[in-house]
A and B are shown apart, each in its own frame.
Chain A
Amino acid sequence: MSRPERQNTPQNYYDDKEARKYNSSSRIIDIQSEITERALELLALEPGRRALILDIGCGSGLSGEAIEEAGHAWIGCDISKDMLVVAAEKESEGGDVLQRDMGQGLPFRAACFDGAVSISALQWLCYEDSKAQSATARLMRFFASLYTVLRRGARAALQFYPENSEQVLLITQAATRVGFQGGLVVDYPNSSKAKKYYLCLSFEHSYRVPQALGREEGGRALTSVGVTERERVKPRGRKKGGKREQVKSREWVLAKKEKQRQKGLNVREDSKYTARKRKDRL
């Protein structure tokens, strides 16, 4: 199955016909609402309190409906007019939509939103539609604007479908370069169908991403990755024979941390746990 992102621009792919088909598929409705519920959980909002959520790439409003069901108000933006028309037809009580390409940056005042989600949209930014606008420039513009429109203490949970590990790196690096703390949560890493990537972002220096779901014992430990500590380091290629490179030695990690400290980066203190293999938790 070839990816739509490879074939077309999002506004052409999500035309009127596709928008209506998308919005009425019960399979898609179920999946999108499940992902949205998980994204909201990852935001760790104050319990029992209605919040104002930004929904980036809101499409026909399926994610918005789940946000509303969770008791929140939302403002959504999307590049596809046809998807938005379907969203607007729902006359939602708690939601509102506008047309904007997130790669142009988000058109909002500073510190307006209690949280942001993006469901199945972010990978589109990795594909270049115009020679004048590189993927990196668009991602940087997007994340820089996201950084400003969130209120203090707010977080973002962005679920996306990367085509390869380069895209994961492109996206996570852009997020950390604008100043976000955070990393990836990969739910159900061992299931080709249920596997989902969430980029979880926060302003807090001490932020640690939540635990991923569905990690089976013995599975690869890299399901919950701190961007600052792991993803920023370019992943080494696999050695011939398909084996992954050895886990980094304690000396290597200590030296690396010292270097980062000298650069003025915020690095965790060394302890007896530094560079120890983490237990695979269930």
Chain B
Amino acid sequence: MRLLSHNVLRNTAKGVVDGYPLKIEAAEIDVRDTEPDLTFIRHLLPTISFSGLRSAAEDLGLDAAAFPASYSTTLGEDEAFLRALHKALFDVRVLEGSLVCPESGRRFSIRGGIPDMMLTDEELS
């Protein structure tokens, strides 16, 4: 699971309001450099949840302070920031661990890099 996926994922089970951001309990992570596409990162900027990003960074022991608390239009001009954002969203992957819903405490396991987001029938509204 990339942090980009973490940034968009939420728990939609019955009774849960936001189900976001999911807390990451990582047992194994992998970091692999990929070529940043800054135009693309700029394009993603307005859709990124910065609270989710900071929460993920904290969970993984990354430098959460490198990321602002919220979006502002000037962020797109800061190349160093865009590179750091690319690295966080695309290069860091959680291979083993769990995602935990901040509201219900429901755990979703991550095995082989694949989060299991399947709900039970009882969790459907």
Instruction: Note whether A and B form a binding pair.
Output: yes
Which of A's residues lie within 8 Å of B, judged by CB? 49-52, 73, 75, 77, 79, 81, 84-85, 88, 93, 96-101, 104-105, 107-109, 111-113, 130, 132-133, 141, 145, 149, 151
Q: Within 8 Å of chain A (Cβ to Cβ): is B55?
A: no
Pairwise interchain contact A50-B117, C-beta atoms closer than 8 A: no
Residues of A within 8 A of B115 (CB): 98-99
Q: In the complex, which residue of chain B has the Cβ closest to the Cβ of A111?
A: B47
Give every chain B residue within 8 A of A149 (Cβ-Cβ).
8
A36 CB to nearest B CB, Å: 20
Alpha-carbon gap, A151 to B5, bound state (A): 16
Q: Can you list 12 contacts pairing A with B, beta carbon distance less than 8 Å?
A: A50-B37, A75-B4, A93-B34, A96-B5, A97-B114, A98-B115, A99-B116, A100-B117, A104-B119, A107-B11, A108-B9, A130-B121
- Majority secondary structure of chain A interface residues (helix, strand, loop or mixed): mixed
Q: Tell me whether B121 and A49 are in contact (CB under 8 A).
A: no
How far is it, in angstroms, between the C-alpha of A88 and the C-alpha of B119 when the chains are bound?
21
Contact between B20 and A98, CB atoms less than 8 A apart: no
Residues of chain A lying within 8 A (CB to CB) of residue B112: 85, 88
Point out residues on B near A: beta carbons under 8 Å.
1-2, 4-5, 8-12, 20, 34, 37, 39-40, 43-44, 47, 49, 90, 112-119, 121, 124
Q: Tell me whether B39 and A49 are in contact (CB under 8 A).
A: yes
- Ordered nearest first, which 6 A-B pairs have the shortest CB separation? A50-B40, A112-B8, A100-B117, A98-B115, A96-B2, A96-B5
- Known A101-B118, A141-B124; contact A108-B8, beta-carbon cutoff 8 A: yes
* Complex alpha-carbon distance, A51 and B37, angstroms: 11
| Most A-side CB within 10 Å, residue of B2, B8, B40 | B8
Is B10 a contact partner of A108 (Cβ separation < 8 A)?
Answer: yes
The answer to whether B34 touches A145 (Cβ under 8 A) is no
- Which residues in B have their C-beta under 8 angstroms from that of A111? 47
- Do the beta carbons of A50 and B39 come within 8 Å of each other? yes
Write the nearest CB–CB distance from B33 to chain A, whole angstroms: 10
Q: Are B12 and A145 in contact (CB under 8 A)?
A: yes
Q: Is the CB of A107 within 8 A of B10?
A: yes
**Closest B residue by C-beta to A78:** B114
CB <8 Å contact, B114 and A85: yes
Contact partners of A81 in chain B: CB under 8 A: 114, 116
Q: Residue of A at shortest CB range from B112?
A: A88
A98 CA to B5 CA, complexed, in Å: 9
Are A151 and B47 in contact, with the CB atoms below 8 A?
yes
Residues in A whose Cβ lies below 8 Å from that of B49? 109
Q: Return the contact of B5 from the options A75, A79, A93 (Cβ within 8 A).
A: A75
Q: Measured between alpha carbons, how far is A151 from B114 in the docked complex, in Å?
A: 25
Not counting A49-B39, A104-B118, a sample of 15 additional A-B residue pairs whose C-beta atoms are within 8 angstroms of each other reads A51-B43, A52-B4, A88-B112, A88-B114, A93-B90, A98-B116, A99-B115, A99-B118, A100-B117, A104-B12, A104-B124, A107-B11, A108-B9, A108-B10, A109-B49
Q: Which residue of B lies closest to A75 (CB)?
A: B5
Q: Which residues of the other chain, A, contact B1 by a CB distance below 8 angstroms?
A: 96, 98
